[in-house]
Structure 1
Amino acid sequence: MSQTQYPCAGCGANVEFAPGTNVLKCPYCGHETVLQQTGARVREHDFLQFTSLPRKPVATLAKHVFVCRNCGAQTESESISDRCRFCTAPVVAELNAQELVVPEAVLPFVLDKRALREALGEWAKSRWFAPSGLKKVSEAETAKSMYLPHWTYDSRTVTDYQGQRGEHYWVTETYTENGETKTREVQKTRWFHASGTVYYDFDDVLVTGTTKVTQKHLDELEPWPLPDSQAYRPEYLAGHETLRYDVEPETGLENAKGKMRPVIEAECRHDIGGDEQRVDNMHTQYNDVTFKLMLLPVWIACYLYAGKTYNIQVNGVTGEVAGERPYSALKIAMAILGALLAIAVIVGIYVATKR
């Protein structure tokens, strides 16, 4: 397998992409190499054409075997960029388009370790009833910077629907209350058959391409500034781990359709009009489907408390934090006790004023 390492022009060590910059920086001597513009553009791929090409399922592909040019050690990894297990030098695989879908775009890291500590510190301070030790999570010394694979899908959809339009009207009802006859206005709904066709164009519907991270937390990191993404180049990966996708493009498209469905249904309801709507069925054609693979930056941090590990994810551009957190039983008990004491004081004052 081919691989790439980037030696420092100053000392010969391996350089890494520096978050928030456009340079490869040496972690030892500090020498910087500016990434020159290549003129490459982000392309969308025709999905139907792609499915007709010969391709190996990603689950059948062997691990990458990196041979470090720094120390000569071999490292096996399913990631497409990683570090040598012995000398920690960054290594990046040169991808074979005959086996894997090659990324078209990458959203480069913006948050460095210092900005990460600040984001985690603010997150830790805002957690109610968290143990005092949670503030240690802001140290983030063991945090890993990772690019996670995502699919994006575009499609021009045409949907034929059948449903019902509800129109409200009011009737006067008579009722008896305490022996007295009264009237009231009651809302009713008349339902009418409705059908039609709606058109909606989707752009960059984002679907996670890996099952190795907690999806719930990853969803909480949205939105991503996708317009800031750059055409893929391996230099952005140097010094950061990059997971290989394990969700095939076909599965990703079905997941994308699941995201499109509520949007299409909302368009159907808008088209039906009236005061209420029912959508009984929809038949959608997905035309001109295109897709691409892109890499999004995430810091992965862990926090150990009471023998349990809590995972935390941080958006590598916006600093949005999502993850698990422990609760302090002592703080919760003290809060409950404080609330009970406050209620007792209020009741005591109320009783005293009534005497």
Structure 2
Amino acid sequence: MAKDANAAMETIQFPCASCGGAMLFDADSQQLKCQYCGRLQAIESDTALPQEHALDDGMREEADTDWGVAQQTIKCESCGGESLIPALQTATLCPFCGSPKVLPQPAAATIKPESLIPFQVDSDDAKNAFRAWKKKRWFLPGAFKRENTSARLAGIYIPYWTYDANTASDYTAERGDYHYRTVTRTRVVNGKTETYTEQERYTVWHWVSGDYERFFNDVLIPASGQYDAKLLDRLGNFELGGLIGYKPDYLSGYIAERYSVNRTRGWEEARERIDGELRGDIRSKIGGDEVRSLNINTDYYDRTFKHLLLPVWNANYNYKSKSYRFMVNGQTGLVSGTAPRSAWKITFFVLACLAVVGVIVLWYASSQQTPPQ
């Protein structure tokens, strides 16, 4: 764990048995590690499988707010981000945007996650992953690729919901199948009228109907209000088989974001994603060359949810006075982010594409002409 995170601590939640120093979770060893003497301490594992809750049942949130250590909520005045840190710790910078304008908030009960995936990528690995990510982006300015980007990484556990659901859908639609017929046409070539034939396509439409069933497992929805949904989607290759029972030890040295999306709103987002996949599945099942007037009615049942924390490295950086963000999946090392673009590289690419298209058009036009008799 980076030393700048240790410097901000004013209270030791997990003191070292050897020297009394702060023990923080170490991604490499998956144990607590003393930041002074290097002593390792194993974390008692919880092998129980993550619990599924029935979505239609009320969850006793008042019984699920004990995080194992006293927590306080801090809010950034610049970006509005809310995060949880140990009660006596003083936060100096916002972990989301890097602003120093962070203020403690009145005590409020916060849902405790039941499971999490611990960090398995440390800060150095996250920085190396970002450097490799930069090199693979062709449209980035060369100077930006070469320079050592200065960014303060913050290790954050982002809250997520997962949803399971069985679905039963019935549908109606019009399926279109392409057919071809030979037609005779005329054209003028070099001042002469000539007759030629070609294949003409037409579509035959007919009504279809049917039913479709599918089970959706672990539809992952972020309960975060601080990130661009597209960036999180690109980052979301988490391997949920790695979930383990929550213990406060795994948060030592890291920050947890407070839940800002409740489970009802999370289900609405999950249902939109499910409906989109069902639409694609049913269109494929219908077959044909085109589908129109598709109408789907879906029933959802056996709906369940889990609430958990997933590890992410977050960083904001500046390039030529503009702010950008990148994130690194704390389990897999996958990078998602925004970056500056090179105007001349984009222009060159567009011109090259136009040149290729122009050559193809000229070739096609010349191939259609009949040489003079």
Normalised-by-shorter TM-score class: 0.7 to 0.9
Instruction: Find out whether 1:28 has 2:32 as its counterpart.
Output: no
Following the alignment from structure 2 to structure 1, what is the Cα–Cα distance between the partners of residues 223 and 253? 21
Cα shift at 1:193 = 0.8
Q: Which of these residues, 202, 218, 224, is aligned with residue 188 of structure 1?
A: 202
| In structure 2, C-alpha distance between the alignment counterparts of 1:271 and 1:75, rounded to whole Å | 49
Taking the aligned partners of 2:73 and 2:135, their CA distance within structure 1 comes to 39
Q: 1:284 and 1:291 mapped to 2: Cα distance?
A: 19
Match of 1:219 among 233, 237, 242: 233
2:219 equivalent in structure 1: 205
SS at match of 1:278: strand
Structure 1 CA distance for aligned equivalents of residues 180 and 342 of structure 2: 54
Aligned partners of 2:26 and 2:150: how far apart in 1?
19
The letter for the 2-side match of 1:130 is P
Answer yes or no: is 1:301 the counterpart of 2:301: no
Letter aligned with residue 114 of structure 1: D
Structure 1 residue 286: Cα displacement: 0.8
Q: What does residue 149 of structure 1 align with?
A: 159
Q: Is the alpha carbon distance of 1:273 and 1:310 closer, same or farther for their aligned partners in structure 2, counting shifts above 3 Å?
A: closer
Give me the whole-angstrom Cα distance separating, in 2, the residues matched to 1:197 and 1:87. Answer: 56
Aligned: 1:107 with 2:113? no
**Secondary structure at the counterpart of residue 124 of structure 2:** helix
Deviation track 1:62-116 (CA, whole Å, cap 9, x = no partner) reads xxx968xxxxxx885642345822799xxxxxxx9x9544322211111112212
Q: CA deviation at 1:154?
A: 0.4
SS of 1:236 mapped into structure 2: helix
C-alpha spacing 1:110/1:181, structure 2 compared with 1 (3 Å):
same
The offset of 1:314, in angstroms, is 1.1
List structure 1 runs of 4+ shifted beyond 6 angstroms. Answer: none
TM-score by length of 1: 0.77
Q: Residue 114 of structure 1 aligns to a residue in which SS?
A: helix
1:13-45 residue CA offsets vs partner (Å, 9 max, x unmatched): 221111133201111211110112233321111
Q: Aligned-pair distance for 1:167?
A: 2.2
Q: Write out aligned runs for 1:1-355 (5 A).
A: 5-50=13-58, 53=59, 76=74, 78-81=82-85, 84-85=89-90, 99-127=109-137, 128-130=139-141, 132=143, 135=146, 137-138=148-149, 140=151, 142-178=152-188, 179-327=193-341, 332=344
TM-score, structure 2 normalization:
0.74
Look up the equivalent residue of 2:135 and give its one-letter code: K
| Cα distance change of structure 1 residues 271 and 305 upon mapping to structure 2, 3 Å threshold | closer
Query: Hey, what's the Cα distance between the residues in 2 that align with 1:36 and 1:182?
Result: 82
The 2-side partners of 1:180 and 1:155 are apart by: 63
Q: Is the 8 A contact 1:81 1:238 kept in 2?
A: no
Distance 1:314 1:6 in 2: 26
Q: Deviation per CA, 1:134-165, whole angstroms, max 9, x where unpaired? A: 6555554x210101111111000011111112
Tell me the percent identity: 34
Relative distance call for 1:106 and 1:137 in structure 2 (3 A) is: farther
Find the counterpart in structure 2 of residue 91 from structure 1: none
Structure 1 counterpart of 2:143, one-letter code: S
- In the alignment, the residues of structure 2 paired with residue 233 and residue 4 of structure 1 have an alpha-carbon distance, to the nearest angstrom, of 16
Q: CA deviation at 1:205?
A: 0.6
Deviation at 1:327, TM superposition (A): 4.1
Q: Which residue pairs with 1:352 in the alignment? A: none
Please give the secondary structure, in 1, of the residue aligned with 2:237: coil
The 1-side partners of 2:73 and 2:181 are apart by: 77
Partners of 1:14 and 1:135 in 2: how far apart?
37
Deviates further, 319-328 or 28-37: 319-328
Counterparts of 1:204 and 1:279 in 2: how far apart (Å)?
A: 30
Q: Tell me which amino acid in the other structure corresponds to 1:132.
A: A
Structure 1 window deviating more from structure 2 (99-108 vs 208-217): it is 99-108
2:19 partner letter? C
* Offset of residue 131 of structure 1: 5.7
Which amino acid letter does the alignment assign opposite residue 145 of structure 1?
A: G
Specify whether residues 137 and 204 from structure 1 end up closer, same or farther in structure 2 by C-alpha distance, changes over 3 A only.
Answer: farther
Aligned letter for 1:84? Q
